[in-house]
Amino acid sequence: MDEGLIRPAFDWRNSVETLIGPGGAGMNPDNIKVCARCGLRYDWRKSASSALKMTYCSSLCERADLGFTLEALLKVERAEREAPETAAPAI
């Protein structure tokens, strides 16, 4: 063993062999995005955000960043359209 040999530190971020996630095949790096709110890496196909999967890792980050979720906004809009308009009673 060469004790005088200095090896450079292993950079795991640039390693081709680094697998993301469990299993032998890992996940495809093309599906990994960075959350606009918290900065965590996530697989956008498994994001809990219903409308902005490629932007936020979860609906919590979506709501924290925007102040609302698009799903909740669409539900409110649908409810207003479906509510029957009642005429004001004549006095």
The more confidently predicted of residues 71 and 4 is 71
In this structure, is residue 53 part of a structural domain?
yes
Asked if pLDDT for residue 41 goes beyond 90, the answer is yes
Alpha-carbon gap, residue 49 to 20, rounded angstroms:
21
In this structure, is residue 1 part of a structural domain?
no
Maximum average pLDDT range among 15-24, 37-46, 70-79: 37-46
Q: Please give the model's pTM, rounded to 2 decimal places.
A: 0.55
Cα radius of gyration rounded to whole Å, the chain? 24
In this structure, is residue 11 part of a structural domain?
no
Domain residue limits at 72: 19-82
Contact between residue 65 and residue 84 where contact means Cβ atoms under 8 Å apart: no
The more confidently predicted of residues 61 and 89 is 61
Number of domains in the chain: 1
CB neighbours of 69 closer than 8 A, spacing ≥ 6? 49, 50, 51, 59, 62, 63
In this structure, is residue 33 part of a structural domain?
yes
How confident is the model at residue 48, as a pLDDT? 82
What are the φ and ψ backbone dihedral angles of 71, each rounded to 5 degrees? Answer: -60, -45
In this structure, is residue 39 part of a structural domain?
yes
